[in-house]
Structure 1
Amino acid sequence: MTWVVVTVLIVVLAILLLVGAWAYQTAHRLDRLHVRYDLSWQALDGALARRAVVARAVAVDAYGAGPEGRRLASLADAAEKAPRSAREAAENQLSAALALVDPVSLPTALVAELADAEARVTLARRFHNDAVRDTLALRERAAVRLLRLGGTAALPTYFEIAEQPDRDVGLVSRRTSARVVLLDEEGAVLLFCGSDPAHPETADGQAPRWWFTVGGAVQPGETLAEAAVRELAEETGLRVSQDEMIGPVWRRDAVIDFNGSVIRSQEMFFVHRTRRFEPLATGRTALERRYIHSHRWCDETMIDELVAKGETVYPLQLGELLSEANTVVDAPGVEPRRQLQSIR
């Protein structure tokens, strides 16, 4: 009889340990999901605030000091200052007012800035709602609610506002680009430093510059992989086969004001690893020779240092995604089953 009691106690103890381990892991996962939710709201709040700033500039350019301009500026102020509970309604009112603005009445650069601000709001809202969905899916499980693993944190809430239609109206062209995250054997990525050839030079004689990956527009009749291979050869001199390209793994949607044109760009990112080399400029187009000024192989720390100095690196998430790119390129067999990831 004693061994039966001991066996039962051992089984009960094992069950308790398993439940405890599951509860600990689940609580830890919930904590990470809540952090992700908080960060996604901060990003969305920042995107909405930027749109409000652009909306006030639009009010001045489109309407001047008239009543329509004052109303649009007032709606932007109200949306920016609205509490969380009233934010959706205030942002929807601002969206409706912005939808009435005629892009023809605005400078091309401001059209691009507004389109970019609205695209960033759309993307940030989707990231936020994805975080809400994943957090709620775990918190609403019966065992999680029974054990109160969610603690006292309030349930996350979706943020729903109307998405703005594309602001093309003949002013914005569309382009699909294939870009390459070119990694060396140490995991650093090749970045070019460039500027807008149509941008006026500043007082020190240099136009604003930014850093970006290899790549460019897909030509008619090309596949994404064909374009990635061609752009890599043209911009760096490195020739590889399409089979050596991994991807696309990321997608970035952006509105770009470049060389006098406003472009709604869909960028598809591939990954490839090679030995570090010195890129050749012999295959670059005349335009590329004008706007590409230098290059640098950068690891995550170097990218963070560039950003800390106020320099822009595209894509904006490249630093935090660099380790993922290295993981992907080291496990190419997993790539076909990966889901295309939207990035900024």
Structure 2
Amino acid sequence: MIPTLITVLGLAVLIGPWLLSIANRLDRLHVRTDAAWAALDAALARRAVVTRALLDQGLSLVADRAESSPRVARESAENDLSRALGAVDRSSLPPALAAELADAEQRVVLARRVHNDAVRDTLVQRRRRVVRWLKLSGTAPQPSYFEIAEPVEEVAAAAITPRPSARIVLTDASGRVLLFQGHDPARPQELFWFTVGGGVEQGESLPDAALREAFEETGLSLSPDQLVGPVWRRRAVFSFDGETFDAEEWFFHAAVDAHEVDTSGFNAVELATVKQYRWWSAADLSSTEDTIYPRQLAEFLPSLVDGSWDGRIRTVR
């Protein structure tokens, strides 16, 4: 009994300081993330102020909506403002105002990068087994990346390319959804998970695009009657490999009993940016600290799996 107690106390003496150092580092990372968000919020607010200085009523309304949006809707609202500013003829503005707007936009870019770097480092620490098992993160909320399109050029907002896409919420007999993990070539450190699917080609219908993407990305030959929907619609502005897209994503649902994923149909970009795939349950999605798109996948997945979808196309984030 006494030798066992001594052993336990010895382990506590050795492990205690190590665990304390991990907890302290995690606390500092959360503080860093909070400070980075405050700086980003300030940069976004300044962009809104400069936008209102353009004295355009439509732009002012968009800026007001972005500035007043809650955190969960902020990305979409700020991207709406980015889209609106992208249509502004900078040559018609007074030089001083054009320069101030460009400066405000670039400060947003820099603040976003600092924020997302802080989020990345915090998530890496929170994902460590010892942190998860011993719940060393305490009650601190999980930080999340702020996805806002970045200007391609230094002095103007990016040209935005419309990109309609068809995606499939592909589930197996256990109700798990297939997701791929990948990254933007310009930001390989920011990993995220996403559903099967991709851009709609010229002259292609949404169902045809969904079926083609499913075959190219998974090797699965689905028939048109296996597609349900579209069930969801998502609008997002994002940057990928230096190009900015205004994506309108239409989600279908398809259920299969089982399938061995075959990624041999990946194109060069997918081969370079997709790291792995995994089947996720709704419980897995709800508990993970990984970045998932769409963000509401865990919330709406059960209604597809149990067949309770009411036929309405829902807007998801």
**What TM-score does the superposition give when structure 2 sets the normalisation length?**
0.55
Q: Which of 301, 305, 308 is the equivalent residue of 1:326?
A: 305
Cα distance change on mapping 1:108 and 1:189 into 2, 3 Å: farther
The alpha carbon displacement at 1:58 in A equals: 3.8
Distance 1:170 1:326, change over 3 A: same
Query: Does 2:236 correspond to 1:254?
Result: yes
Change (3 A) 1:297 1:341: same
Tell whether the 8 Å contact from 1:256 to 1:264 is kept in structure 2 after alignment.
Answer: yes
Q: How much identity, in percent, do the aligned residues show?
A: 33
Q: Name 1:175's counterpart in structure 2.
A: 163
1:264 aligns with 2:246: yes
Task: Decide which of 188, 197, 211 is 1:215's aligned counterpart.
Answer: 197
1:236 aligns to 2:218 (yes or no)? yes
- Give the whole-Å Cα distance in 1 for the aligned partners of 2:303 and 2:167: 16
TM-score by length of 1: 0.51
Q: 2:291 is matched with which residue?
A: 312
TM-aligned CA deviation for residue 219 of structure 1: 0.3
Residues 183-227 of structure 1: CA distance to partner in whole angstroms, max 9, x if unpaired? 00010100111111122x5xxxxx210011000000001000000
In structure 2, the partner of 1:299 is 281
Note the C-alpha offset of 1:262.
1.0
Task: Return the offset for 1:54.
Answer: 4.8
Segments of structure 2 that go 5 or more residues without pairing to the other structure are: 1-37, 55-59, 69-76, 89-96, 113-150
Structure with max Cα Rg: 1
Whether 1:55 aligns to 2:44 is yes
TM-fit CA distance, 1:52: 4.6
In structure 2, relative to structure 1, the CA distance for the partners of 1:275 and 1:173 (3 Å cut) is same
Paired AA for residue 230 in structure 1: R
Contact 1:108 / 1:262 at 8 angstroms: preserved in 2? no
Tell me the distance in 2 between the aligned counterparts of 1:313 and 1:195. Answer: 12
Aligned to 1:190: 178
CA contact (8 A) 1:108 1:171 kept: no
What is the aligned partner in structure 1 of residue 269 from structure 2?
287
Tell me the distance in 1 between the aligned counterparts of 2:294 and 2:177.
Answer: 12
Per the TM alignment, residue 171 of structure 1 is displaced from its structure 2 partner at its CA by 1.1
Closer, same or farther: CA 54–211 of 1 in aligned 2, 3 Å: farther
Offset at 1:301? 1.2
Query: How many residues of Structure 1 are paired with residues of Structure 2 in the alignment?
Result: 202
Q: CA-atom RMSD, angstroms? A: 3.9
**What amino acid is the match of 2:162?**
R
Offset at residue 300 of structure 1 (A): 1.0
What's 1:155 paired with?
none
Matching residue of 1:121? none
Instruction: Go from structure 1 to structure 2 and tell me whether the alpha carbon gap of 1:53 and 1:278 turns closer, same or farther (over 3 Å shift).
Output: farther
Query: Which ranges in structure 1 are unaligned for 5 or more consecutive residues?
Result: 1-48, 81-90, 114-166, 202-206
Residues 1:342 and 2:307 are matched in the alignment: no
Q: Which piece of structure 1 moves more, 277-286 or 178-187? A: 277-286
Classify 1:232/1:57 alpha carbon distance in 2 versus 1 (closer, same or farther; 3 Å): farther
Q: How far, CA to CA, are the matches of 1:234 and 1:53 in structure 2? A: 43
C-alpha distance after superposition, 1:25-63 (max 9, x if no partner):
xxxxxxxxxxxxxxxxxxxxxxxx999545246479x89
By how many angstroms is 1:325 displaced? Answer: 1.3
1:154-173 C-alpha deviation (Å, 9 max, x unpaired): xxxxxxxxxxxxx9976111
Q: CA deviation at 1:261?
A: 1.0
SS at structure 1 position matched to 2:306? helix
Shift of 1:277: 2.4
Question: Per-residue CA shift, 1:295-324, capped at 9, x if unaligned?
Answer: 110001111222xx3x21000000011111
